[in-house]
Amino acid sequence: MAQNNNNFKIVAGNKKAHHDYFIEEKYEAGLVLNGTEVKSIRQGKVNLKDSYVNIKDGEAYVFNMHVSPYEKGNIYNVDPLRVRKILLNKREIRKLVGLITLKGYSLIPLSLYLKNGKVKMDLAVARGKKNYDKRQVLAKKDAEMRIRRQED
């Protein structure tokens, strides 16, 4: 868990997102969570690996975000993979609906963090990479690393 000086602490990241997608735009959003889910997220027991965001009836929801049950939560724990509502403005949601339906973009969560005591999520409007795009990115990184080694 990384600590940044802007009064927020990153709890979970989606490393696979940058590998599989071209990130176009980013949004910060809140989440509707249960009390035991917040405690579990504070402990870092959350996984964003296969999660995605979809918009239904004018509201955004995150799917497949795994929040492990809180150890001391007993009867108050909820399903770890339940669908969670994302808090966005109506204007932002309308814009995202347009991007998703017309241009074929996807909404994916990039990271989950605590900001001023509240759980926030970084959402990205992303376009999927093809296999040859991934190979080009890896080749470029490899070439840059070789150049840096030769300079040292």
Q: Structural domains in the chain?
A: 10-151 (2.40.280.10)
Per-residue pLDDT at 87: 94
Per-residue pLDDT at 17: 86
Burial of 15 (0-12, 13-18, 19+ CB in 10 A): exposed
Per-residue pLDDT at 151: 83
User: Which of 1-10, 51-60, 61-70, 140-149 comes out lowest in average pLDDT?
Assistant: 1-10
pLDDT confidence bin for 5, thresholds 50/70/90: low
Go through the chain and tell me how many residues it has: 152
Percent of the chain with pLDDT over 70: 96
| Nearest partner of 67 among 37, 111, 32, 30, judged by Cα | 37
Mean pLDDT, to the nearest integer, of 138-147?
89
Q: What is the mean pLDDT of the chain?
A: 87
Structure tokens at 131: 């296999």
Tokens 């990039």 belong to which residue? Answer: 110
Amino acid at 87: L
pLDDT tens digits along 113-136: 999 889 999 999 988 888 877 888
Per-residue pLDDT at 6: 66
Per-residue pLDDT at 128: 83
- Angle ∠(115,17,5) on CA atoms, nearest 5: 25
Mean pLDDT, to the nearest integer, of 57-85?
88
Per-residue pLDDT at 2: 52
Taking the whole predicted model, whether its pTM rises above 0.85 is answered as no
